[in-house]
Structure 1
Amino acid sequence: MAERRVKVESEVGLHARPAAMFVEAASKASGEATVAKGDGAPVSAKSILAVMGLDVRHGDEITIRVDGEDAGTVLDRLAEIAGAA
């Protein structure tokens, strides 16, 4: 399992287009992919409703976890999307 904490730099947080890009990238993981806001409970990073339900805003810190053979690559892409300005 790969894990990373990321500060969300996108002005709109993980809403609308960034959330769709995040879920699309997470869906490419061969294993489970989750995201949690702060110290909250993790949700599936492969579900647009779950990701948008976290209400992640600019400046929030999230924890991304990815399982599977491609975990490092998928995690890098998710962190890039979430941290994008």
Structure 2
Amino acid sequence: MSSTTVVVGSAVGLHARPATLIAEAVADSGVPVTLALQGGDPVDAGSALMIMTLGAEKGMKVVVSSDDQATLDKIADMVATDLDA
């Protein structure tokens, strides 16, 4: 499984709106993706609720992992973008 580390870009962190948008993108891809805080346990990025349990705030580092590089890149870009803008 490939991984990349990105910094959360959303001003509110990975809360309701950003988490929902990311979970929808993962579901649309049909590929498993996990998110984790550095050193933390990974959660299923296909679940907005699981993403919100990370408590990831703006500026925190998040590890994005997936077996599909294109999906990994897309989700990593979403995590790093201010999805509330």
**Structure 1 length as normaliser, TM-score?**
0.86
- Structure 2 counterpart of 1:72: 69
CA RMSD, 1 decimal: 1.3
1:16 lines up with 2:16 in the alignment: yes
- 1:2, distance to aligned residue in structure 2 (A): 2.2
Distance of 1:28 and 1:78 partners within structure 2: 11
- 1:77, distance to aligned residue in structure 2 (A): 1.2
The amino acid across from 1:28 in the alignment is: D
1:37/1:62 contact within 8 Å kept? yes
Q: Structure 1: which 5+ residue stretches go unaligned?
A: none
- Structure 2 counterpart of 1:83: 80
Number of residue-to-residue matches in the alignment: 82
Distance of 2:69 and 2:24 partners within structure 1: 16
- Structure 1 counterpart of 2:45: 45
Q: Structure 2: which 5+ residue stretches go unaligned?
A: none
1:32/1:66 contact within 8 Å kept? yes
SS at match of 1:57: coil
